Amino acid sequence: MKFHREGKKIVLIAYFLLSIPPVVSYAFEAPSWLTVILILLSVIMFGLVIQFFRVPTRVLSANSDQVICPADGKVVVIEETEETEYFKDKRIQVSIFMSPINVHVNWNPISGIVQYFKYHAGLFLVAWHPKSSTDNERTTLVIKDEKGREILVRQIAGAVARRICHYADKGDAVAQGREFGFIKFGSRVDIFLPIGTDVKVSIDDKVSGIETILAELK
């Protein structure tokens, strides 16, 4: 397991801030039980920050017709809907909610060439709000594979998540299972698949990026 580069500055700040309460408590000779409690709370909070930026080691086993989950989390939406930004037609939408305790790396669901990328500044509605996918801060990434099939992936920031990091751009060649982004402190990833795609997950499933097969393309 590795530590994500996006967390280095935050971890240093957290270490400094969380060390202050127990040090002050000890310096001013507060009751020993209070100092112990403050130390324990600081260690727990620092541990939560560390685990948030973890990058697990995973093995890709999918084939070129399979779409892997681009994020860890819980499947909250599977529905046929109108995709209005790029395809402008009906697609199958699968949404994965990422809680603060999930890994927050985002991985390419398929290999191919990036056909479209756009960053949208926006609001920070809660991730399950009906308008979060159109009104919140978000990115849209479209990948076309070697057979001409296109998948759209959308990172969506939420009420807690305040920064979306993205590493791909139009024209880039991307590999399935490689990192394309990171969302700090939770939120949601939407995947838009062609109609007729065989979706392999169900509502409320807990999924793992890279390891869980999301769908089988026709």
Q: pLDDT grade, residue 14 (50/70/90)?
A: confident
Same domain, residue pair 113 and 72: yes
Same domain, residue pair 77 and 147: yes
In a domain, 61, yes or no: no
Same domain, residue pair 199 and 169: yes
Triad 171, 172, 175: Cα angle to 5°: 140
DSSP 189: E
Domain that holds residue 34: 2-55
For the packed helices 8-27 and 32-52, what is the interaxial angle rounded to 10 degrees? 180
pLDDT digits (tens, 9 = 90+) for 144-154: 999 999 999 99
pLDDT digits (tens, 9 = 90+) for 88-107: 999 999 999 988 788 889 99
The catalytic residue among 64, 187, 202, 208 is 187
In a domain, 193, yes or no: yes
Say how many domains are in the chain.
Answer: 2
Same domain, residue pair 50 and 83: no
Triad 201, 207, 210: Cα angle to 5°: 100
The amino acid at 70: P
In a domain, 187, yes or no: yes
Per the annotation, the verdict on 133 as an active-site residue is no
**More confident site: 127 or 213:** 213
CATH of the domain at 130: 2.70.70.10
